[in-house]
Amino acid sequence: MTSRFELFDQTLNASLLQPLSSTQPDFKAYKTRVKLKILEKRNEATGEKELKFELSRADDYEFLFAETLNNEKYQTLAREHDLTVDFDTFPKVIIQHLLSNNIVRNAEDDGESDARKKPGYHSIIAHGKPTEINITLDADKNFCLFELFSKTPISKGRIFSMKLGAVRGDHLISHLLKICSSQAAKLSGYHKISDDLSALKIKYGELEEQNSKLEEYKEKFEEDAEKMRELEDELELVKEEKENIRVLAEDKDVMIADLEADVKDLQNESEEIKVELDVVVKMLEEEREKVDQMKKRGNLHQKELSRLRAEMESIQRKLDKSQKDLARNDSQQNQQSVDVRKLRELEADLKEKDTMVDSLTETIGALRKELEDEKLKTQEVMDSFEKLKVENEAINQRLQMYRTQRFGSTPPVVGTVPTPFKKVLGPDSPYNNNSTMKIPFRNATNSTFSHTPNTNRFTSHLAADDTTGSTLTQTPPVLRNLQ
């Protein structure tokens, strides 16, 4: 058996020139892909080394051309084309430096194997000048001319050309059988791929169903995640509201404590006001009694004054009469000494009565003035009492309103109109350090209320009772002591 070594087996890009007809010299040129095999073998008869070049096409099974090149034929070829390498290095040079640039890197689309997957591909060095392959067929397709050109940007030169004859007979049949076996193997591979494809389609359908379920699960999960985020947001809002409510509750507790303290203070102040009202009532009663006594004394003085006036008029009449008698009886003075003496007594008595009348008149004027003062004082005390009474009622109403708001609301009586109340607490309250507040008998050291003029007057009188007693209440000093 003859030993054969495959030096090159790759698909190349080439330009195919085919005559239009046997009678016309014109050619039809188009780009194509050809498969080039370079085999190294020994001649069966002589044992001489030979190189076999074989061209074929995957899309044309009858396109098969071959040529065997021995040393003698190579020398003729080298002389024709001025080749500078010997026969042994010729295949290596054309493979690594000339044919490598035309190898089709991926021929799987045409049914060929990828050149990068073939053994020995990475040993081919792709460097050197760009080359171009031209294949020219004759009109009868009995031979073809394989030409290799070098290309530059401005020229193209032929490196060498080789004439390959058409392969026919047993060699063509053997070539076709190889193609058939290759195609049968590919077909079996295609059938296997088809079966795999059917299985993959079934698997793909199952995966599609699973994917649709996963999409549903994903949508559901996204909805659940969105709901979870909404719930988390709501939870954060609830936490914030809870914190706000807690802060508000603490503020309310503080406000309630303050309000309770204010209520206690108001209750204490109300008790003090009640005590003071009792004192004022007692003082008013005392003042009324004193006024009544002064009225009685005034009436008695008025009666006494009327009596004295009547006596003075009678004495005046008697005096006038006596003066007339004196004028008439002036010449008889010595004889009427008794009448003169009586007249002098009457004049002295008249002067005494005049003095008494003047004294009583002054006393009555002073008593009238004191009575008017007492009336004014009584009126001021009554006004202060009425104001204190109104303020006490307002405080009681505010306390009742606070209790109602604090411990539960009481439904209003049908037909009644609620009375608008002043604010008891807060910056707008009249009891918030109001300098115009009128509450008498309050110690200035522990009170923020101011005193009315009447209160100052009564306070001065009551303070005077510590040492001198009161002329208004008729009480001794030991019974009243304000601290």
What domains are defined for the chain?
Answer: 4-168 (2.170.210.20)
- What is the pLDDT at residue 121? 46
pLDDT at 333: 59
Q: What local confidence, expressed as pLDDT, does residue 429 receive?
A: 55
Helix/strand/coil (H/E/C) assignment for every residue in the chain: CCCEEEEEEEEEEEEEEEECCCCCCCEEEEEEEEEEEEEEEECCCCCCEEEEEEEEECCEEEEEEEEEECHHHHHHHHHHHCCCCCCCCHHHHHHHHHHHHHECCCCHHHCCCCHHHCCCHHHCCCCCCCEEEEEEECCCCCEEEEEEEEECCCCEEEEEEEEEEECCCHHHHHHHHHHHHHHHHHHHHHHHHHHHHHHHHHHHHHHHHHHHHHHHHHHHHHHHHHHHHHHHHHHHHHHHHHHHHHHHHHHHHHHHHHHHHHHHHHHHHHHHHHHHHHHHHHHHHHHHHHHHHHHHHHHHHHHHHHHHHHHHHHHHHHHHHHHHHHHHCHHHCCCCHHHHHHHHHHHHHHHHHHHHHHHHHHHHHHHHHHHHHHHHHHHHHHHHHHHHHHHHHHHHHHHHHHHHHHHCCCCCCCCCCCCCCCCCCCCCCCCCCCCCCECCCCCCCCCCCECCHHHHHHHHHHHHCCCCCECCCCECHHHCCCC
* 338-397: pLDDT as tens digits: 666 777 888 888 888 888 888 888 888 888 888 888 888 888 888 888 888 888 888 888
Task: Give Cα separations from 401 to 57, 260, 264, 417 (angstroms).
Answer: 113, 13, 15, 15
> Going by C-beta distance under 8 Å and a sequence separation of 6 or more, which residues neighbour residue 439?
273, 276, 388, 391, 447, 449, 451, 455
Tell me which residue has tokens 């088809």: 194
Question: Residue 451: its pLDDT value, please?
Answer: 47
Ranges in the chain, pLDDT < 50: 1, 109-110, 115-116, 121-122, 410-411, 413-417, 421, 424, 431, 437-452, 455, 458, 461-467, 470, 472-473, 478-483
pLDDT at 459: 52
